[in-house]
Amino acid sequence: MMKTEQQELFTKRTLTERWISAVLFACAAVSIAVTAGIVMVLLFETKEFFSKVSFGQFFLDTQWTPLFAQKHFGIWPLFVGTLLTSFFAMITAIPMGLLIAIFLSEYAPEQLRRILKPIVEILAGIPTVVYGYFALTFVTPLLQKVIPDLAGFNSLSPGIVMGIMITPIVASLSEDAIYSVPASLREGALALGSTRLRAIRYIILPTAFSGIAASFILGISRAVGETMIVAIAAGQQPILTFDPRVPIETMTAYIVQVSLGDTPHGTLEYNTIFAVGSMLFIITMIFNLISFYLRKKILKGYI
Amino acid sequence: MKQHDNDDLTFISIDRKIEKAFIAIMAIAVTIPLVIMVMLLIDTFIDGSGRLNVDFLTSFPSRFAESAGILSPLVGSGILMVLTALFAVPVGIGAAVYLEEYAGKTRLSSFIEINISNLAGVPSIIYGLLGLGLFVRYMQLGRSLLAGALTLSLMALPMIIIASREAIRSVPRELREAAYALGADKWMTIKKIVLPMSLPGILTGIILSLARAIGETAPIITIGALTYVAFLPDSVMSPFTALPVQIFNWISRPQTEFHINAAAGIIVLLVVMLLMNSLAIILRYRLQRRIQ
């Protein structure tokens, strides 16, 4: 039986359609390949690392000196360094971000909100190397006037500057969460004679809690992975200390330090940056996933 | 009874005072970032504006702070941006179209979604390690522009996908249904209706992602960009440096003359960012008007 012209056109169309959807699927699949690539590269080099260094040396030692003759591979100094800078970042970003979010969503008139929001978000778009310069040449000297024995490299100043960079992320996600609280709940509280502040404290914030928590967690993940600010202003001395005034080294700064030198492929020094990178990847991925599910909860409409 | 009323009134007035104090605190919280941004700009400008001249833009980096310039880093960043766009934009838009228009609510598509959300949060330095392991070593591309651009494009990909998906999602369903009703098939609808309608949003997302990508320092350092390049790249396999890497190099030197160079470099970097952001805003405005 001869195919009619229409049928032919139809088959042709179906074929093109199939081709196109296959190509588009391949594009989407690239994202899975990227994750697989990250995991494979990290796993491969980290396995290499742990074939030369035992888990005990990595997790139980308190010294990190892989670049010296007397080699120690204790991750704790780098981990605590990251913890310190992230802590100062979060005690800066959480209150500021949350206050900005409440102000923009509950108090600011629409026009002011439309002007302020993009301005605050510019802060998140400034390259981190610029913040590093700002921390080293402006914030540290400024803080030294208040804290005289603050070293030129320390964890306090880059921590605070990192917090400023993270503030828009916390503010923007928290604002989305607060915005998604139904107006009926807010109006119900006000109708019962509550002040606006009480409505925020007892109705809006608890209702938006999971979204706000998601913004904090994403902020922590950003702080842990932030590299240039700490590489520039926190120093390169992996000392196990909780003193915010002295130089330290974070996990990310260590990777930069090794990358700047010419470390030959296959050496133990080369492997260490992947081992540290694996730690970093696992920590940030856990935070990212928690944050993702908390945000999903809002979208599903939990109210 | 009288007593009771008074209690209520004091209660309310205390509440009002607390609320006023709270508003004041919020106003401070909103002001702080703005003040800091202004301080950052002024501080950098005071430090660096003296070094900013044509020679600074057209000279190669040098051991001598006064004669050092940013020609090779600037060219490196420019080529990186073009190559990154070339790799990341088609794949990013393709993935966004697939996820919005083709993928059903299957387990695979929700896995891809979680995956992209996670990738967007992966620290940039991890992309650097990926690039080092995959492109520089395994694929033997060396510390080349190509390896750098591929690394940056993987990093920019999730951002482009997320922005494009949002733009595609904002196209009203009625328009798609109208196209189907007129006999268009799925791809024709996407090509003629969905993509043109979402173009302003997609372009804005792309420009912002690219601006973010060329401002990145950590992944480029990790794959081994050089910090001293006194030549212009002659092919995509050429070694390179980028503007943020050069700035970082100058900041990490102890001599303050180099800090001045870093500040001047930062001004150039910020101007480039500002131009790209303005371009995004203008494009969005123009294209949106044309569609309406």
Q: What is the pLDDT of residue A66?
A: 85
Q: What is the pLDDT of residue A1?
A: 52
pLDDT at A2 over 60: no
DSSP summary character for residue B144: B
Beta bridge partners of A73: A64
Q: What is the pLDDT of residue A28?
A: 92
Q: What is the pLDDT of residue B4?
A: 55
d(CA A162, CA A160): 5
pLDDT tens column, A55-78: 888 888 888 988 888 888 999 999
How confident is the prediction for chain A on average, in pLDDT?
A: 90
Query: Which residues, at least 6 apart from B35, have a Cβ–Cβ distance to it below 8 Å?
Result: none
Mean pLDDT of B99-124: 89
Mean pLDDT of A24-39: 94
- Please calculate the CA angle A128-A131-A136 and round it to the nearest 5 degrees: 130
Q: What is the pLDDT of residue B291?
A: 65
CA distance from start to end of chain A: 60
Contacts of B95 in chain A (CB under 8 A): 24, 27-28, 30-31
pLDDT tens column, A189-237: 999 988 888 899 999 999 999 999 999 999 999 999 999 999 999 999 9
Mean pLDDT of B21-46: 92
Contacts of B272 in chain A (CB under 8 A): none
d(CA A84, CA A155): 7
Q: Which of B17, B77, B251, B284 to mutate to test the interface with A (most CBs of A within 10 A)?
A: B251
Please answer whether residues A42 and A278 qualify as being in contact, where contact means their C-beta atoms are separated by less than 8 angstroms. yes
Which two tokens mark A122?
A: 């510019």
Contacts of B267 in chain A (CB under 8 A): none
pLDDT tens column, B238-247: 889 999 999 9
pLDDT tens column, B42-89: 999 999 888 888 888 888 888 777 778 889 999 999 999 999 999 999
Q: Express as a percent the part of chain A with pLDDT over 70.
A: 97
Interface contact flag, A280 B126, Cβ < 8 Å: yes
Q: What is the pLDDT of residue A165?
A: 94
Q: Min CA distance, B291 vs chain A (Å)?
A: 23
Contacts of B157 in chain A (CB under 8 A): 30-31, 34
Mean pLDDT of A96-125: 89
Mean pLDDT of A278-299: 88
pLDDT tens column, A117-166: 888 888 888 999 999 999 999 999 999 999 999 999 999 999 999 999 99
d(CA A164, CA B231): 37
Smallest CA-to-CA distance from A222 within A93, A112, A60, A74 is with A93
CATH dotted code for B56-291: 1.10.3720.10
Q: What is the pLDDT of residue A46?
A: 94
pLDDT at A171 over 50: yes
Q: Which of A15, A24, A289 to mutate to test the interface with B (most CBs of B within 10 A)?
A: A24
Q: Express as a percent the part of chain A with pLDDT over 90.
A: 61
Q: What is the pLDDT of residue A44?
A: 93
Q: Please name the member of A27, A102, A281 whose beta carbon is closest to the beta carbon of B98.
A: A27
- Within A99-146, strands assigned E span none
Q: How many helices (H) and strands (E) does chain A have?
A: 14, 0
Contacts of B44 in chain A (CB under 8 A): 130, 133-134
DSSP summary character for residue A263: P
d(CA A280, CA B185): 46
d(CA A235, CA A241): 13
Q: Express as a percent the part of chain B with pLDDT over 90.
A: 55
Q: Which amino acid is at A3?
A: K
Q: What is the pLDDT of residue A139?
A: 95
- Please calculate the CA angle A131-B221-B64 and round it to the nearest 5 degrees: 75
Q: Which amino acid is at B51?
A: R
Please answer whether residues B72 and B225 qualify as being in contact, where contact means their C-beta atoms are separated by less than 8 angstroms. no
pLDDT bracket for residue B9 (50, 70, 90): low
DSSP summary character for residue A12: H
Q: Please name the member of A132, A196, A252 whose beta carbon is closest to the beta carbon of B123.
A: A252
Backbone φ, ψ for residue A246 (5° rounding): -105, 160
The string over B185-218, giving b where at least 16 C-beta atoms fall within 10 Å of a residue's C-beta and e elsewhere, is ebbbbbeebbbebbbbbbbbbbbbbbbbbbbbbb
Residues in chain A: 303
B133 CB near a chain A CB, below 8 Å?
yes
Which two tokens mark A217?
A: 């967690």
Interface contact flag, B114 A122, Cβ < 8 Å: no
Which two tokens mark B48?
A: 């660096």
Interface contact flag, B215 A127, Cβ < 8 Å: yes
Work out whether the CA dihedral A75, A77, A82, A86 comes out positive or negative.
Answer: positive
Mean pLDDT of A238-253: 93
CA A238 from centre of chain: 22
pLDDT bracket for residue A303 (50, 70, 90): very low
Q: Is B106 helix (H, G, I), strand (E, B) or coil?
A: coil
pLDDT tens column, B140-149: 998 899 999 9
Q: Min CA distance, A196 vs chain B (Å)?
A: 8
Mean pLDDT of A244-248: 93
Smallest CA-to-CA distance from B271 within B30, B56, B31 is with B56
d(CA A291, CA A213): 8
Count of other CB atoms within 10 angstroms of residue A56: 10
- Tell me the three-class secondary structure of B190-240, residue by residue: HHHHHHHHHHHHHHHHHHHHHHHHHCCCHHHHHCCCCCCCCCCCCCCCCEC
pLDDT tens column, B200-226: 889 999 999 999 999 999 999 999 887
At A250, which helix (H) or strand (E)? Answer: none
Mean pLDDT of B257-285: 90
Beta bridge partners of B262: none
Q: What Å distances lie between residue B252 and A77, A159, A219, CA to CA?
A: 22, 18, 27
pLDDT bracket for residue B1 (50, 70, 90): very low
CA distance from start to end of chain B: 64
